[in-house]
Structure 1
């Protein structure tokens, strides 16, 4: 589910800050809102996880804001929040990183292409 920074508009636009969350019950005590985890020195990557904060745009929630951008004939997910002008976080595409633990979302120069279907 996508929730834009300005929920009153009622539509999701490209290049707009938004929260991304799983709308189904997971059984986990953490929030299902996506967030950028702290830098992982063992892999030299930033990973995307759950446990983020919903709404309240600003420096305290900077890790929970993502964007959808047009990419070729589809879209891509991007971490490049604009809800805090003075916060210092990387801007990057989100792609898939695979290792012995499986596949995980991470900031990468190789974006994962996504398509949306109207429901």
Structure 2
């Protein structure tokens, strides 16, 4: 009888843990990130200066299209919003699919939503503008990112799970220098870690 009760409790705890939501992503004040709220990021593993990320023209001679770059800043930082895969969920959680969208005017006549796209000049996948917000599925696979916790803050990861039968690449979002000398966000590259500010 005691053995049956023990196994029943263990089974219930396993189900509860499997169904519990991942921890929320927290801002610098320890509050959960929420959908639609403006946030900023400051990189934590860059020494001797303050660095952030923002959109910039990254084509030949720094013309269109627009991508996401690491940028040394002296106070001004570009804001963005994060939208979860389920629009009914208000809290942004670790390891879950999200859209990331810069605020402000669009560059190069395309949306400010992040997407992963192969850059022929760099010969690797880079984070670009022009993605689609929402509508999870195989058609929007390139538009979904995840946030993971590290010992140095957080990191962006590309490993979408919005399509159960799609074969996807997975990897951290880092930086590399392109042919124009710009530090671009790419799949792989040198890791970047950061914290969220409101």
1:19 aligns with 2:99: yes
How far off is 1:86 after superposition? 1.6
Higher relative contact order (CA 8 A, sep 6+): 2
TM-score by length of 2: 0.55
1:7 aligns with 2:87: yes
How far off is 1:26 after superposition? 2.7
1:111 aligns with 2:191: yes
Alignment partner, residue 116 of structure 2: 36
- Number of residue-to-residue matches in the alignment: 117
CA 1:114–1:6 in 2, change beyond 3 Å: closer, same or farther?
same
How far off is 1:42 after superposition? 4.6
Structure 2 residue matching 1:21: 3-state secondary structure: strand
1:45 aligns with 2:124: yes
**Whose radius of gyration is greater, 1 or 2?**
2
Which shifted more, 101-110 or 65-74?
101-110
2:154 to 75, 84, 87: 75
Which consecutive unaligned segments of at least 5 residues does structure 2 have? 1-80
Distance in 1 between the 2:103 and 2:122 partners?
30
2:143 to 58, 64, 87: 64
CA 1:41–1:100 in 2, change beyond 3 Å: closer, same or farther?
closer
How far off is 1:72 after superposition? 1.3
Which consecutive unaligned segments of at least 5 residues does structure 1 have? none
Which shifted more, 7-16 or 58-67?
7-16
